[in-house]
C-alpha cells in the first residue's frame, strides 16, 4: 500500500502538481475571458437577477431552481479549502499567494460560465425523469471527431466515460473521505467527541439527505449554505474589526509583493514570486474547482428553457467561494498577525526537516540561506546519523525546521516525561517516531490549525475556535452531500439510474469508516482524478468555443425580443 501511495504521489508531480497543468487551467480562463469579452464583469448583474428568479418561465424543465442549483454547487466547492487551503497558501507563499488565489477565481468565473453553459445545453433525463447532466453528456453528444477513412469515431463518448469514472473516484476522494476526516479530527480536538461517534451521526444524516436525490439535496443546501456562510462571516468579521488597525496594512501586504515575492518577516522565512504564484493558483483552483467539471453537474439540474442563463448563474460561484469567503479567511490570518508568528505546538513528523548546522532566525545571512533552501534554490546540508537526546533536548548543533520555520524551545517527550535516548535521521528526516514519542516546540503552523488560532484573536476570544470547528463541520459535510450527487449522476451515465442506490449505500459506508481510519492513499488518488476530470473537460470547452459564442449570442437575441425594457449587456 505504501508503494502504491508513493506511486500516486510521484505521478501527481508530473500531472496536477506540475506547472503545465496550472498554466493549462489558467490559460483556458484567460483565453475565454478575452474571447468572450469579460463575461464575468458584463454579465454579473444579470446573473444576480436570474438567481432571484426574475426571468423564470412556467414550464421550464429541471429539478431545481437557479438558486438551489447555485447553493448545491457552492456546497460542493465551499469546503475545507476555504478554511485550511487559504491558510496553507499564505503559510507557503506569503500574503501575495492570496492575490493569485483571487486572480484565479476571477478567471475561473469565466471558465465555469462556459462549462456550465455547455453541460446544461446537452443534459439528458434518465429513466426516472430526473435530470442527468454534466460534461460527460456534452462530450458524448458533441465531441465526435472525424478521423481516418472519413469515419466518425465517437471519441466524445469515451472521453465522457473517462470523465464519469474519474468523477466517481473523486466523489470518494476529494468529495467525501477527506471531508469526514477533517470533521472528526476537528470535533475530537475541539469538543473531545470520538471519531467513530462523529462518523456514525453524520453518516445517518448523509444517508437521509442523499437518498432523496437532487430535490432533497437542493432543499438542504439552499438553507445550509447561506446559514454556514453567515456563521463564518460573523466570526471572521469579529477578528478583522477587533484588529482594525491592521486592516489597511493587510490589504497592502496582499498587493505589495505580487511580482517580487514576500520577504522574511517574523517567523516567516520568505517566498519567491514563483512560489507565491504556484501556491496561490493551486489553492485557488482547489477552492473553486473552475475547469474541473464538477459543478456543471449540479447546475445542469436547474429549471431553464435555455442553457446560457444557468451558465451566468455559475459566474457567481467562484466569486462567493473564493473572492468573498477566501478573502475573509485571508484577512483574518493577516490582520490577526498569526500567519508569521511562532506558536507552541506539537510537531508533525512530515513537516520536520533537520539541517546539519546551527542557524539563527536573527541572522539575516542564515535566513537568506534557509529561504533559498526552502524555495527551490541552493540546498543546505541535512543531517544524517543519530541524534542524541538528553532530558528532551537535542545534544548535536543542528537546526530543526518545522512548517518552513526555524523551530525554537524544542522538547522531545516520551509520553509525558522528557525523553533521553536516540533518534535515527536519514536525509534530514526522522525515520521512526514511535507512538509514545512526540516533539513539541515553537514554530509556524498552517492549514486549519493556523485558522483556528487566528479566530481566537478577536472579540470572541477562545470561543472563536468553535466557529472554525463548526465551519469545518458544515463546510465539509455540505461538500460530501454535493459530491454524492456528482457521483450518482456519473453512475447514471455509465450504468443507468437503477444502479444509483448501490452507489449511495457504498458512499455512506465509506464515509462512516473514513471517520476513524487512515485515508491518505485515497486522498492522493483523488489528486490524480481531479486532473483526469479537468483535462477532457478543458479540451472539450476549448474545442467547442465557437458554439459557446454563438449560443450566447442567440441568447441575447431571444432575450431582447422578450424583454425589450431590460438593458442588454451585449453588443448584438
User: What does each C-alpha distance from 545 to 34, 153, 173, 350, 552 come to in angstroms?
Assistant: 12, 21, 31, 44, 11
The alpha carbon torsion through 189, 194, 195, 199 (nearest 10 deg) reads -120
- Please report which confidence band the pLDDT of residue 16 belongs to, taking 50, 70 and 90 as the band edges: confident
Q: Which pLDDT belongs to residue 2?
A: 64
Domains of the chain, with CATH numbers?
A: 23-341+456-562 (1.20.1740), 343-443 (no CATH)
Q: Write the pLDDT tens digit of every residue in 441-481.
A: 999 998 888 999 999 999 999 999 999 999 989 988 999 99
Residue 77 neighbours by CB under 8 Å, 6+ apart:
287, 288, 289, 294, 295, 317, 318, 321, 479
The pLDDT of residue 289 is 84
Instruction: Classify residue 433 as left (phi > 0), alpha (psi -120 to 50) or beta.
Output: beta
Residues 415-449, buried b or exposed e (16+ Cβ, 10 A)? eeeebeeebebeebebeeeeeebbbbbbbbbbbbb
pLDDT in tens, 302-347: 999 899 999 999 999 999 998 999 999 999 999 999 999 999 999 9
The pTM of the full predicted model, rounded to 2 decimals, is 0.89
Angle (nearest 5°) at CA 445 between 397 and 400: 10
Which range has the worst mean pLDDT, 148-152, 312-316, 400-404, 425-429? 148-152
What is the distance in angstroms between the CA of the first residue and the CA of the last residue of the chain? 58
- Maximum mean pLDDT: which of 172-181, 400-409, 431-440: 400-409
SS3 readout for 231-278? HHHHHHHHHHHHCHHHHHHHHHHHHHCCCCCECCECCECCECHHHHHH
Amino acid at each position: 500500500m505504501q508503494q502504491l501511495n508513493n506511486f500516486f504521489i510521484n505521478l501527481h508531480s508530473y500531472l496536477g502538481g506540475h506547472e503545465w497543468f496550472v498554466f493549462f487551467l489558467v490559460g483556458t480562463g484567460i483565453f475565454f475571458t478575452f474571447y468572450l469579452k469579460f463575461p464575468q464583469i458584463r454579465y454579473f448583474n444579470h446573473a444576480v437577477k436570474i438567481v432571484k428568479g426574475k426571468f423564470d418561465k412556467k414550464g421550464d424543465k429541471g429539478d431545481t431552481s437557479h438558486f438551489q442549483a447555485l447553493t448545491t454547487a457552492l456546497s460542493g466547492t465551499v469546503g475545507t479549502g476555504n478554511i485550511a487551503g487559504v491558510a496553507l497558501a499564505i503559510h507557503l507563499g506569503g500574503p501575495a499567494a492570496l492575490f493569485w488565489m483571487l486572480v484565479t477565481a476571477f478567471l475561473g468565473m469565466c471558465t465555469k460560465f462556459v462549462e456550465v453553459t455547455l453541460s446544461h445545453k446537452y443534459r439528458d433525463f434518465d429513466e426516472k425523469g430526473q435530470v442527468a447532466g454534466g460534461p460527460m453528456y456534452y462530450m458524448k453528444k458533441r465531441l465526435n471527431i472525424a478521423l481516418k477513412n472519413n469515419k466518425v469515431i465517437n471519441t466524445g463518448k469515451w472521453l465522457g466515460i473517462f470523465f464519469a469514472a474519474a468523477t466517481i473516484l473523486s466523489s470518494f476522494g476529494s468529495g467525501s473521505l477527506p471531508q469526514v476526516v477533517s470533521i472528526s479530527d476537528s470535533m475530537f480536538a475541539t469538543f473531545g467527541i470520538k471519531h467513530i461517534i462523529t462518523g456514525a451521526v453524520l453518516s445517518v444524516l448523509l444517508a437521509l439527505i442523499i437518498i432523496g436525490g437532487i430535490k432533497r439535496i437542493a432543499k438542504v443546501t439552499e438553507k445550509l449554505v447561506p446559514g454556514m456562510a453567515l456563521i463564518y462571516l460573523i466570526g471572521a468579521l469579529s477578528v478583522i474589526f477587533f484588529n482594525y488597525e491592521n486592516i489597511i496594512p493587510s490589504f497592502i501586504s496582499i498587493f505589495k509583493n505580487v511580482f517580487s515575492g514576500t520577504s522574511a518577516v517574523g517567523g516567516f522565512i520568505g517566498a519567491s514570486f514563483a512560489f507565491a504564484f504556484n501556491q496561490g493558483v493551486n489553492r485557488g483552483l482547489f477552492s473553486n474547482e473552475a475547469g474541473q467539471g464538477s459543478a456543471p453537474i449540479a447546475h445542469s439540474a436547474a429549471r431553464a428553457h435555455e442553457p446560457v442563463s444557468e451558465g451566468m448563474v455559475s459566474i457567481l460561484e467562484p466569486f462567493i467561494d473564493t473572492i468573498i469567503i477566501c478573502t475573509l479567511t485571508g484577512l483574518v490570518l493577516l490582520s490577526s498577525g498569526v500567519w508569521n508568528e511562532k506558536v507552541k505546538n506539537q510537531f508533525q513528523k512530515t513537516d520536520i526537516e533537520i539541517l546539519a548546522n546551527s542557524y539563527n532566525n536573527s541572522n539575516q545571512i542564515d535566513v537568506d540561506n534557509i529561504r533559498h533552501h526552502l524555495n527551490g534554490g541552493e540546498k543546505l546540508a541535512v543531517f544524517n546519523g543519530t541524534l542524541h537526546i538528553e532530558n528532551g533536548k537535542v545534544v548535536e548543533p543542528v537546526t530543526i525546521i518545522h512548517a518552513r520555520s526555524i523551530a525554537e524551545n524544542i522538547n522531545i517527550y516520551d509520553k509525558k516525561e522528557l525523553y533521553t535516548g536516540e533518534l535515527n535521521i536519514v536525509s534530514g528526516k526522522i525515520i521512526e517516531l514511535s507512538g509514545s514519542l512526540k516533539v513539541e516546540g515553537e514554530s509556524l503552523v498552517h492549514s486549519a490549525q493556523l485558522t483556528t488560532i487566528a479566530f481566537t484573536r478577536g472579540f470572541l476570544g477562545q470561543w472563536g475556535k468553535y466557529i472554525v470547528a463548526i465551519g469545518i463541520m458544515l463546510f465539509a459535510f455540505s461538500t460530501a452531500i454535493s459530491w454524492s450527487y456528482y457521483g450518482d449522476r456519473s453512475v447514471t451515465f455509465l450504468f443507468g439510474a437503477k444502479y444509483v442506490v448501490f452507489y449511495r449505500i457504498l458512499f455512506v459506508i465509506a464515509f462512516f469508516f473514513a471517520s476513524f481510519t487512515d485515508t491518505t492513499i485515497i486522498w492522493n488518488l483523488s489528486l490524480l482524478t481531479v486532473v483526469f476530470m479537468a483535462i477532457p473537460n478543458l479540451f472539450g470547452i476549448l474545442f467547442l468555443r465557437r458554439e459557446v459564442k454563438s449560443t450566447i449570442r442567440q441568447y441575447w437575441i431571444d432575450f431582447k425580443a422578450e424583454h425589450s425594457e431590460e438593458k442588454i449587456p451585449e453588443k448584438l
